[in-house]
Chains A and B, each alone.
Chain A
Amino acid sequence: MLREILRRLVATIPVMGVVAIAVFALLHVTPGDPAVIIAGDYATAEDIARIRTKLGLDQPFVTQVGIWLGRIVRGDLGASIYSGLPVTTLIKQRAEATISLTLLAMLISILVGVPIGVLAAWRRGSWLDRGVMVFAVSGFSMPTFWLGFLLVYVFAISAHWLPVQGFQSIERGLWPFLRHLILPAVTLSVVYMALIARMTRASMLGVLDEDYIRTAFAKGLAPRRVLVRHALKNASLPVVTIIGIGFALLIGGAVVTESVFALPGLGRLTVDAIVRRDYPVIQGVILLVSAVYVLLNLVVDLLYVVLDPRIKY
């Protein structure tokens, strides 16, 4: 098993290499001189020259890629053009809000999405099932930021139950932290929850027709036990897979959710960097997020072994 994990980790290196080169190459495949675009509309010739040297754009392309990859391997993502701070420092400053938001949203989506998917499949064709399906389709189509504003309007502006926006570090206490995070996390979770509920239902429908489920019911086991121990366990592979793949959606949603709720996270860092055309910061965030995505899907792959003993590596 340990050898398999190592082998898989090594196998992610080419994928991450492609990500790194692609993110870097974007600077060159987009039309126009990148130094001129990054410098902005009011830049002087000196500004442009300075940026060109700073980003190493005066070197041949292959040399640039080599230098860039070498720096990444050493954990150096360069420095922001705007503030001059190292990109890794900026990311560390902003990581808490994003990690809290995405983890909480993930937790809510799984804790709600899986049970409603199971119930919908169990009561197939009932009103409950239809309700879950309507939620799954409409939740998936919901513009995240619009939903965020709706929730803010109802729970913060009209009812005054929760703060409109902002973030409190967990160091200031659990309750202030959760109070500020609950609306953004619910907002962000809806799309992901819809996806998980739909996949759980579909996967459960396939399993519930099996003989061993009928046997389990026939021998008088409690429905809850049959659904969870017998059915869900066997239906869990596609669900776990969609949780891994759906993480990309979650991150995209986090960028807009942070903007709606003024959370000081990586999404805001990216959006600010885009307005300032601070490309090193954008590169750094994309690289980091993609790495997390690849690793998460690696964990999903390894989970298969735990969930299904027939799969052996």
Chain B
Amino acid sequence: MASTLPALGADLAVAPPAERLSAAGRARRFARRNPTLLFGAVVMTVIIAGGVLAPAWWTGDPLEMQPADRLQAPSAGHWFGSDNFGRDVYTRTLYGTRVSLVVGAAVALASLVIGTALGLVIGFYRRLDAVMMRVMDGLMAIPAILLALALMALMKASVRNVIIALIIPEIPRVIRLVRASVLSLRELTMVEAARALGARTPRVLVRYILPALVAPLIVQATYICASAILFEAYLSFLGAGTPPHIPSWGNIMAEGKTYVQLAFWIILFPGLFLALTVLAINLIGDGLRDLLDVR
């Protein structure tokens, strides 16, 4: 026994206790341990800065047409080339970031809030549960993109309606996640204890169940955000999404579709931004899942 003690002590001497590290050292160690999270965060920072501060990055007017300059290959004048109306693809791609980010964030936030509220209620009231879950099974059997397309066919094309059309297919999935967690959480001793002390259901839900749901919900939100950005582009590309006069990645690519053979850059660059953004958000999701130890 005694002989192992010095060895332990030696180990401790080599690795300084965590609190002795400087802030920068701790940040470096965090980055080393979470490379996917770091990569995703860096890419997202660049893309958010690109979209929010679009006018500052040597862009022009995204709607300005220069017929003399149509279908120009990438050059010093047009970094990403120009489209069939002579509009600058670099400018339009950067402005397109805004639509994607707004749609991604709004869909993630709204479906999370609505889904969590409904999931908590359904999970806690057994009488509702059986019926509601059959309804959710039915709704989830409809492929999300088809449901969103059907909704867009019945609404006027606008960014707000795209957001609504993408929230609706996500809600049953959030409800399902929340309900499953509630079912297991409500059997915990602390919940039983709280109930024995006279806490009413709303208080139990908000004070005991909800905090335990924060981590899985944050992870879920990142995945919803990524798929919403992808789906917005799909809808716009198919002509059933963001109105054509707003430059969004899907719209730029839809217009470039006719010119694939002549001007491939119209599709290449917005698609590259789209792929990178979705990848970065998915990586942040994976990183957070590992970090927060979800599942």
Contact = CB atoms under 8 A, between A and B. Distances in A.
A21 B138 CA distance: 10
Contacts of A152: 260
B240 A251 contact: no
Interface string A131-170: 0000001101111111001101100010000001000000
B107 interface: no
A248 B170 CA distance: 13
A255 B154 contact: no
B254 to A, nearest CB: 9
Interface residues of A, number: 55
Given A27-B154, A274-B149, A286-B147, A143 B230 contact: yes
Among A30, A138, A143, A248, residue most surrounded by chain B Cβ atoms (within 10 Å):
A143
A271 B241 CA distance: 12
Interface in A1-29: 14-19, 21-23, 26-27
B142 A286 contact: yes
A259 B153 contact: no
A252 interface: yes
Interface string B105-149: 000000000000000000000000000001101110111111101
A33 to B, nearest CB: 11
Interface string A266-308: 0000110111010100110110011001100000000000000
A22 B142 CA distance: 10
B233 A22 contact: no
Interface in B209-263: 226, 230, 233-234, 237-240, 253, 257, 260-261
A190 to B, nearest CB: 11
B283 interface: yes
B274 A146 contact: yes
A140 B280 CA distance: 12
B279 A18 contact: no
B151 interface: yes
A141 B138 contact: no
Contact of A14 (B138, B233, B267, B268): B138
Among B138, B139, B144, B153, residue most surrounded by chain A Cβ atoms (within 10 Å):
B153
Nearest to B281: A141
Given A27-B154, A271-B240, A282-B149, A145 B234 contact: yes
Contacts of B97: none
A284 B13 CA distance: 71
B144 A18 contact: no
A259 B258 CA distance: 12
B260 A255 contact: no
Contact of B143 (A138, A283, A289): A289
A251 B146 contact: yes
A43 B226 CA distance: 38
B155 interface: yes
A259 B253 CA distance: 12
B143 A252 contact: yes
A15 B137 contact: yes
Interface of B: 134-135, 137-139, 141-147, 149-155, 226, 230, 233-234, 237-240, 253, 257, 260-261, 264, 267-268, 271-272, 274-275, 278-279, 282-283, 286
Interface of A: 14-19, 21-23, 26-27, 30-32, 34, 37-38, 137-138, 140-146, 149-150, 152-153, 157, 164, 248-249, 251-252, 255-256, 259-260, 270-271, 273-275, 277, 279, 282-283, 285-286, 289-290, 293-294
21 contacts: A15-B137, A16-B138, A18-B134, A22-B142, A26-B150, A26-B151, A27-B154, A38-B154, A141-B275, A141-B278, A143-B230, A146-B267, A149-B271, A164-B261, A252-B143, A286-B146, A286-B147, A286-B150, A289-B142, A290-B141, A290-B142
Given A271-B240, A286-B150, 19 more contacts: A19-B142, A22-B138, A137-B282, A137-B283, A141-B226, A141-B278, A142-B275, A142-B278, A146-B253, A146-B274, A149-B260, A255-B145, A271-B238, A271-B239, A275-B239, A282-B153, A285-B146, A286-B147, A290-B143
